[in-house]
Amino acid sequence: MTKIGLLSDTHGYLDKRMLDLLSQCDEIWHAGDIGSMIVLEKLEQIKPVRAVFGNIDGHEMRRIIPHQQRFTIEGLDVFMTHIGGYPGKYENEVKPFYKRMLQSYLSADIHIF
C-alpha cells in the first residue's frame, strides 16, 4: 500500500517537524498554495511530489505545476485541484468532472481540494 503525505496551504512555510513525517511516505501530494519554489524543492528532495498550484502561487510555479491533476494510483482514480467549490456551487472547471463522476458511479475515486 502506497503511503501518501498530503498537505496544502503551506504558503511558503514548511515546518521542520514535517520533514521527518514526510520522509516516511512513498509520495507527497500538495493540493495548492505552496507559496514558494523553496518549499517545492524541499519536498522534492524528500520524496516524489504530485502538486497543483493554488491561487497564491506565482507565474514561476504555474509554469511547472498544473492547476489540476488526474491520475491513477493503486487502481484508484484521483482528482486534485486547489479549490473545487462547494456543493451546489462548484467551480466551472470542476463541474464537468463531477458530472462524469456521478454518471459513472466511480465510488472509489479520491477527490482532493
pTM of the model: 0.82
What are the pLDDT digits (tens) for 22-45? 999 999 999 999 999 999 999 999
Give 87's pLDDT tier (boundaries 50, 70, 90): low
Question: What's the mean pLDDT in 73-83?
Answer: 89
Judge whether residue 78 has pLDDT over 70: yes
Looking at residue 113, its pLDDT comes to 82
Order of all β-strands in the sheet with 76-81: 68-73, 76-81, 110-112
List the Cα angle 97/102/2 in 5-degree steps: 70
Looking at residue 77, its pLDDT comes to 87
CB 79 within 8 A of CB 97: yes
Q: Which domains are delineated in the chain?
A: 4-112 (3.60.21.10)
